[in-house]
């Protein structure tokens, strides 16, 4: 009698193991179906307030461990991998990607795709998007002919022009080309007027905005997101006799570099 009871207990203990083995086999096979995939926002930007989000659901016999991949479109190179433990079928699920690769670096501008599948099973295509790491800083009609000043153009007193000028109506909103930390805000009556300097997140570049119409909308040490409003185009400082414009600089470890090629790229994409 006692031995029979022990055998029963033994058999009962074995059962869940067998069942789990069978179900993980189905997860690798036809038991998984990806559903209702979408990606938001439509134009994802690195470090913007709206995060890059894959929405999805799936059908399966039971809760499943999922693998989610972010891949470079084209090459298919896997940039980032996530595991979702015991994800529930039939629910609306979401996965945020912060735009960083597996080593914690910014993944770079370009096209990416999400793939989702059961751990150990086939991965399914879940949608494609283009990631941008910057936005054009002037949010409105503007000119980039460089009529006022290209990078390196001579200035009075032997100075050279250390930025690029973008003409726009006074009052046009200025957006952070890249998120980061506000390093400096101030007023320089001789050259720059109202200005703001932002230390870019996950880059050695700093971004300088000057001749603002009024003090910047942000304070020193503020954490700024990409495309966040920072102020408005003006003509303060030595711009009083010129058309309203943004004097924009990109500095790498403090040294100005020619921002024009960057600006032209961002302008095409914004």
3-state class of 64 per DSSP? strand
Stretch that binds Zn ion, among 49-57, 98-106, 239-247, 261-269 (CB under 5 A): 239-247
List the alpha helices (DSSP H) in 118-244.
none
Looking at beta carbons, which residue is closest to Zn ion? 247
| Nearest by Cα to 117 from 30, 20, 32, 24 | 32
Residue with Cβ nearer Zn ion (247 or 251):
247
Residue with Cβ nearer Zn ion (86 or 255):
255
Number of neighbours of residue 170 by Cβ within 10 angstroms: 14
Q: Which backbone phi and psi does 8 adopt, to 5 degrees?
A: -60, -45
d(CA 62, CA 76): 30
| Contact (Cβ atoms closer than 8 angstroms) between residue 231 and residue 214 | yes
| Nearest by Cα to 194 from 235, 155, 229, 228 | 235
Using DSSP bridges, classify how beta strands 110-118 and 124-131 pair: parallel, antiparallel or unpaired.
antiparallel
Phi-psi category of residue 13: left, alpha or beta, with phi > 0 → left and psi -120 to 50 → alpha: alpha
The alpha carbon dihedral of 260, 264, 265, 266 has a sign of: positive
Considering the complex, what minimum distance in angstroms separates the CB of residue 196 from Zn ion?
15
Total residues at interface with Zn ion (CB under 5 A): 4
Site string for Zn ion, 78-117 (x = CB under 5 A): ----------------------------------------
Residue with Cβ nearer Zn ion (165 or 206):
165
Site string for Zn ion, 126-165 (x = CB under 5 A): -----------------------x-------------x-x
d(CA 42, CA 95): 15
Residue with Cβ nearer Zn ion (149 or 200):
149
Site string for Zn ion, 163-202 (x = CB under 5 A): x-x-------------------------------------
Considering the complex, what minimum distance in angstroms separates the CB of residue 153 from Zn ion?
8
Residue with Cβ nearer Zn ion (119 or 170):
170
Residue with Cβ nearer Zn ion (178 or 247):
247
The CA-based dihedral angle spanning residues 268, 133, 97, 77, taken in that order and rounded to the nearest 10 degrees: 80
What residues are paired with 106 via a beta bridge?
100
Residue with Cβ nearer Zn ion (133 or 236):
236
Stretch that binds Zn ion, among 112-120, 134-142, 171-179, 242-250 (CB under 5 A): 242-250
Residue with Cβ nearer Zn ion (47 or 165):
165
Considering the complex, what minimum distance in angstroms separates the CB of residue 212 from Zn ion?
13
Which one of 203, 247, 259, 260 is in contact with Zn ion (CB under 5 A)?
Answer: 247
Considering the complex, what minimum distance in angstroms separates the CB of residue 231 from Zn ion?
16
d(CA 193, CA 190): 7
Half-sphere exposure of 149 (CA within 13 A, CB side): 25
Binding stretches for Zn ion (CB under 5 A): 149, 163, 165, 247
């Amino acid at each position: 009698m006692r031995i029979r009871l022990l055998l029963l207990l033994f058999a009962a203990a074995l059962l869940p193991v067998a069942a789990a083995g069978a179900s993980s086999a189905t997860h690798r096979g036809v038991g998984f179906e990806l559903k209702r995939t979408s990606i938001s926002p439509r134009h994802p930007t690195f470090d913007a307030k709206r995060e890059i989000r894959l929405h999805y659901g799936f059908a399966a016999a039971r809760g499943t461990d999922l693998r989610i991949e972010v891949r470079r479109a084209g090459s298919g190179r896997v940039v980032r991998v996530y595991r979702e433990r015991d994800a529930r079928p039939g629910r609306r699920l979401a996965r945020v990607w912060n735009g960083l690769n597996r080593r914690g670096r910014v993944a770079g501008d370009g096209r990416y795709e999400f793939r989702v599948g059961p751990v150990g099973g086939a991965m399914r295509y879940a949608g494609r998007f283009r990631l941008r790491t910057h936005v054009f800083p002037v949010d409105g009609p503007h000119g980039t002919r460089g009529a006022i000043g290209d990078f390196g153009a001579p200035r009075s007193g032997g100075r050279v022009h250390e930025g690029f000028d973008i003409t726009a109506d006074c009052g046009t909103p200025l957006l952070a080309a890249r998120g980061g930390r506000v390093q400096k805000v101030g007023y320089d009556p001789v050259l720059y007027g109202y200005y703001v300097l932002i230390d870019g997140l996950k880059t050695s570049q700093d971004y300088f905005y000057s001749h603002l119409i009024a003090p910047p909308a942000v304070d020193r040490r503020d954490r700024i997101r990409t495309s966040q409003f920072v102020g408005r185009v003006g003509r303060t400082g030595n711009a009083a006799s010129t058309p309203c414009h943004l004097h924009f600089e990109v500095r790498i470890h403090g040294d100005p570099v020619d921002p024009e090629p960057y600006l032209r790229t961002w302008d095409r994409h914004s």
